[in-house]
Amino acid sequence: MLTLLAIIFTASSVLIWLPQDPGFKEEFPMWTYIWGAFCIFMYQTLDAVDGKQARRTKQSGPLGQLFDHGCDAVNTFFGGFIYYQGLRVESTWGFFAMILGSSVSHSNNTMHSDR
Query: 20-71, pLDDT tens digit by residue?
Result: 877 777 788 888 889 988 998 998 888 888 777 777 887 777 887 788 788 8
- What confidence score (pLDDT) does residue 115 get? 45
Residue 13, domain extent: 2-19+28-113
Write the Ramachandran bin of 28: left for phi over 0, alpha for psi from -120 to 50, otherwise beta. Answer: beta
- For the chain, the domain total comes to 1
Catalytic residues: 69
Which parts of 12-111 are beta strand (E)?
A: none
What length does the chain have?
Answer: 115
What is the widest separation between alpha-carbon atoms in the chain? 47
Answer with the residue of higher pLDDT: 8 or 99: 8
- For CA atoms 53, 49, 31, 28, the dihedral sign is negative
Residue 112 has pLDDT above 80, yes or no: no
pTM of the predicted protein model? 0.70
Mean pLDDT of 105-110: 54
